[in-house]
Amino acid sequence: MNMIARLVQRAKEREVLHKLNGYRDIAATINKQDLRAWNDEQLKAESLRLQSEAKAGTPLDKLLTDAYALVCEAAQRTLGMRPFEVQVMAAIALHEGKLVEMQTGEGKTLAAVMPAYLNAITGKGVHVLTFNDYLANRDAEWMGPVYRLLGLSVGAVQSGMSLAEKQQAYSADITYVTAKEAGFDYLRDSIAMTTGDTVHRAFHYVIVDEADSLLLDEARIPLVIADEAATAGQDGTRFADVAKQLHLDEHFIFDEFKRNVFLTEAGSDKVESLLNCGNLYEAHNVHLLTSIHCALHADALLQRDIDYIVRDGRIELIDEYTGRVAENRHLPEGLQAALEAKEGLASKVGGTILGTITLQHLLRLYPTISGMTATAQASADEFDYVYSLQVVRIPPNRPCIRIDHPHQIYTRKEAKLRALVDEIASVHATGRPILIGTSSVQESDILADRLREVGVSYHVLNAKNDSEEAEIIARAGEIGAVTVSTNMAGRGVDIRLGGGDAKQADAVVELGGLYIIGTLVNESVRIDNQLRGRAGRQGDPGASRFFVSLEDDLLLHRSGIDQAIPSSYRKLRQDEPLDKPALRNKIGHVQRVIMGQNFQIRQELNRYSDMVEEQRLILYKDRLAILTGEMPMSPSEQRVRLFYIDKLWAEHLAYVSYIREGIHLESLADLNPIDEFHARIIKAFGRIQAKIEKETSRMLERLSDSNDPSEWERLGLKGPSSTRTYIINDHYTQRLTSLVEVAVLKMVRKVKHAIGHESS
Ligand code: ADP
Ligand code: MG
C-alpha cells in the first residue's frame, strides 16, 4: 500500500470508529429505558402512541429510541431474548439504510425486528427479504410474537400460495418473503387486469437478509413471467450435429476465462460447408451464427453433472453458488434449446415473455434499502457503487476466537484429496464435529466415496428441500458429526455445538469446537468467509482450514490469471503441502482479480438491462394509473389500454432479446454494440406510445364503448389464461467481454469472401 492509500484507509477507519461510538451511545440510551415494570397492556398502549405519532408525521428518527426500547422489552417477554448492545447498534444502522456486517450466529434475525417495527408503524408495510422460503416462514413464526405483542401483524409469503393467501401476507405490517417470490409477484401484478388480482402495495422499506448473495451474486438474474401456452421450440438438432463435428483449437477456441466459445477461421469454413449457407457472417445469416454459437457453447462449455443434470427428460441447471439443482431456472432461450438438442430432449422452451425484471432493479424500487450479512466488507466498494449502500461492520457480542489456519496448498489434486481424507479421518477419531464445504455435487461425491473407503460415516447434503437441509446443517455441531455440504448450503441456519444439548456442547468445546474444512477456495472471498463463519459463533471455539491444489479450477483453468502462480511450483509433483506464504498471497490476489472481473462483467451487462428497465418504468407508471382508475374515465377504455400496453410491451421484450442475442455478432462495423443496442431499442420504444394510441382507438371503435366484460372477452381483451414464472441464468452468456475478437474475425471473413468472389 502506498502512503496515500494508507492515509485514506486510516481516515476511513477513524470514521467507522466514530460511527460505531455514535451507535453505542444511542444503544446505551435505549438500554436505560427500563420497561420491565410495565404490563403487556401498557406496552401495547405505548406502541399505539408511537403509531399515531408516526402517522401524524413525526419523523421516525425521533421515535427510534422509544420504539427500540419497546421492542427490546417485547422480545424479552415473548422470546426470552433481550437484544445485546451490538444487536441494537446493528438495528440503528439498518434504520439508517446501511449494509450491516455481523458475524454468523450473532442474531441478525432479532436485530432486524427493531427497524422492521419502527418502519412499519407508519402503516406502509415493511419487507424482510430472506434467503429461502423456509427462512421466510421460520423468521415470521419466530419473531411473530414480538410484533403481535406490540399490536402489529406479520406475514410470511411462500411460493405456491393462493392469491388470497398472498394478499393477506402482503397486507401485514411486516412481511417475510424471498426476493424471488416478491419479484415474481411484482411481475404478476404488472399484468393484472384488475386491482383485485394484485398482491403488492407500494414498496416502502426493505431489509435484505444475506444481502451479499442477493444484492451482488444474484442481482443480475432476470425473473421472468411468460405466457403458459408454449410455442414450438426451435429445432436445434441440426446445429448440435454440426457442433459435434468441430474440434477444439482447430475449429473453435475459448476466451481466456473459458466463458465463451468462438469459431476460428477453419471452424467458420467448416460450418459454412456443413450448412451450405455461404458467408456465415452476412447479416442474413445472423440467426445461423447465433444458433451455431449456442450449439457449440452447449457442447463444449456446459458439462453434464457439473453445470446441469438430466432428470425426468428435463435439463435441470446446477446453481454455481450452492452446487445444487436450481429450481425453476432456465438458460437464455437459444442456449436452453441448444442444450436440449445436445441431450436429445424435446424442447420445452417457448411461451411469450410478458415481463421481466432483475433482482437489482426490483430492489431499486424500494425507497429505502438496508441489508445484513456476515460477509459484506470484501465487496464494500461494489455495494457503494451499485446501491449507494455503506457497509457498517458491527463487532461481535463476544470476541471471535475461531482459529483460521493458513491455506494448505498442494501441487496436485490427488495429493490434496489424500491429505483431506487423512485430516478428516484423524480429527473425526477424536469425536470433534467437522463441516466440509465442497464446490460441486461431483466433488462432494468423490470425497464421500473416499471417506466411505476409510470407514468414516458422514452426511452428504444434497437435500432438495430447504427444511431438510436446515435440519442436517443444524445438527452438524454434534459429537462425531461429519457433514459434507456444497457451498453456502444452509445459509441462515444456526449450527449449535452439541446440537443444542448443553452437556454435549461442553464436550465439543473441549475438543476445540466445530472444525470447518474447505476443499478449495472460491472465486469470491465472501463465500470462503461464509463457510468459515459457520464455526466460532457467539464466542465459541472453532477452527477452519482450506485445502487448495494448483490443479484446482480457480488456479488452473482461469488461464488468464494463472501466470500469477509461478510455473516452477507447478512442476513440483510432491505429496507434501507447499509451505510458501508468497503462494498464499498469490491466491488471495487471484481471488481479488476475479472478483473485480465479475464486478466489471456485471456492470457491463447492467448497461444492457438498465435502459430496458427505464422504459418499463415509464409504461408501468401509465399502466398503474389506468389500473387504479385514475385515468381515463371509461372502464372499456381502461381495459383496452391495459391490453395493448401489455401486448406491445411483450413484443418489445421479444425485440430486445432478439437484438441482444445478435448485437455483438452483427455490429462489426463500429465495434460498439452497446450504443447500437441503445439506439435500436430507443427507436423501437418511441414507436410504442403511438401504436398504443392507434390500436386503442381502433378497438374502441369496434367495441362502440361497451362496458360489458363479456364483450371484452369476446374480442380477446383479456390477460393470459395461465402464466409461469422462472429465472433466466445468464451466467453462461457473458460473451460481451470478448466482443472485439468476434468483430475482428467477422471482418477477416468479409474480406476473404470478397476476394473469393473476385477470383471466381
Ligand atoms: P444470524 O442470522 O446472525 O446468523 P440468528 O438470528 O440465526 O443469527 O441467531 C443465532 C442464535 O443466536 C439463535 O440461536 C438465537 O436464538 C440466538 N440469539 C440471538 N440474539 C440473542 C439474544 N439477544 N440473546 C440470546 N440469544 C440470542
Ligand atoms: Mg441469519
Among the bound ligands, name the one nearest to the CA of residue 108. 1
Task: Using pLDDT thresholds of 50, 70 and 90, give the confidence band for residue 618.
Answer: very high
What does each C-alpha distance from 265 to 251, 283, 449, 758 come to in angstroms?
Answer: 7, 18, 44, 19
Q: How far is the CA of 519 from the centre of ligand 1 (A)?
A: 28
What tens digit of pLDDT does each residue of 460-513 get?
A: 886 666 778 888 888 899 999 999 987 656 688 889 999 989 999 999 999 999
Q: How far is the CA of 143 from the centre of ligand 2 (A)?
A: 13
Among the bound ligands, name the one nearest to the CA of residue 109. 1
Residue 399 scores a pLDDT above 90: yes
What tens digit of pLDDT does each residue of 115-150 get?
A: 999 999 999 999 999 998 999 999 999 999 999 999
Which atom of ligand 1 has the smallest separation from the CA of 106?
3
Task: Using pLDDT thresholds of 50, 70 and 90, give the confidence band for residue 284.
Answer: confident
Share of the chain above pLDDT 70, in %: 89
Q: Which residue among 68, 78, 84, 110 is best mutated to probe the pocket of ligand 1, counting the most ligand atoms within 8 A of its Cβ?
A: 110
Q: How far is the CA of 360 from the centre of ligand 2 (A)?
A: 21
Residues with CB under 6 A from ligand 1: 81-84, 87, 102, 104-110, 494
CB atoms inside a 10 Å sphere around CB 181: 23
Residue 27 scores a pLDDT above 60: yes
What does each C-alpha distance from 45 to 39, 70, 150, 206, 447 come to in angstroms?
Answer: 10, 11, 8, 26, 59
- How close are the terminal C-alpha atoms of the chain, in Å? 63
Q: How far is the CA of 105 from the centre of ligand 1 (A)?
A: 6
Question: What distance separates the 2 farthest-apart alpha carbons in the chain?
Answer: 100
Among the bound ligands, name the one nearest to the CA of residue 79. 1
Mean pLDDT value across residues 79-98: 97
| pLDDT given for residue 734 in this prediction | 43
Cell of 658: 432478439
Residue of the CA atom closest to atom 5 of ligand 1 = 107
Best-predicted range by mean pLDDT (273-277, 504-508, 549-553, 633-637)? 504-508
Identify the H or E element spanning 252: strand 252-254
Where do we find the cell 454459437? Answer: 293
Q: How far is the CA of 538 from the centre of ligand 1 (A)?
A: 9
What tens digit of pLDDT does each residue of 683-718 get?
A: 999 999 899 999 999 998 888 877 788 888 888 888
Find how far residue 259's CA is from the centre of its chain. Answer: 19
Closest to 656 measured CA to CA, from 681, 633, 690, 676: 681
| pLDDT given for residue 685 in this prediction | 95
What is the rounded CA–CA span in Å between residue 640 and residue 27?
Answer: 55
| pLDDT given for residue 378 in this prediction | 86
What tens digit of pLDDT does each residue of 350-368 get?
A: 678 899 999 999 999 999 9
pTM summary value: 0.87
- More reliable by pLDDT, 41 or 632: 41
Residue 165 scores a pLDDT above 90: yes
Closest to 335 measured CA to CA, from 743, 652, 735: 735
485 strand-pairing partners: 437, 461
Task: Using pLDDT thresholds of 50, 70 and 90, give the confidence band for residue 736.
Answer: very low
Q: Is the peptide bond before 632 cis (omega within 30 degrees of 0)?
A: yes
- More reliable by pLDDT, 252 or 281: 252
Asked if 22 and 96 count as a contact pair (C-beta separation under 8 A), the reply is no
What is the rounded CA–CA span in Å between residue 332 and residue 325?
Answer: 17
Order of strands, sheet of 99-101, starting from the edge strand that comes earlier in the sequence: 154-156, 174-178, 126-130, 205-209, 368-373, 99-101, 391-393
Closest to 518 measured CA to CA, from 485, 475, 489, 563: 485
Tell me the DSSP string of 691-755. Answer: HHHHHHHHHHHHHTT---HHHHHHTT-S--S-EEEEEE-GGGG-GGGGHHHHHHHHHHHHHHHHH
What is the rounded CA–CA span in Å between residue 51 and residue 245?
Answer: 70
Domains and CATH numbers, the chain: 10-219+361-393 (3.40.50.300), 235-350 (3.90.1440.10), 407-583 (3.40.50.300), 603-723 (1.10.3060.10)
State whether residue 45 is helix, strand or coil. helix
Asked if 53 and 65 count as a contact pair (C-beta separation under 8 A), the reply is no
Task: Using pLDDT thresholds of 50, 70 and 90, give the confidence band for residue 372.
Answer: very high
Mean pLDDT value across residues 321-348: 78
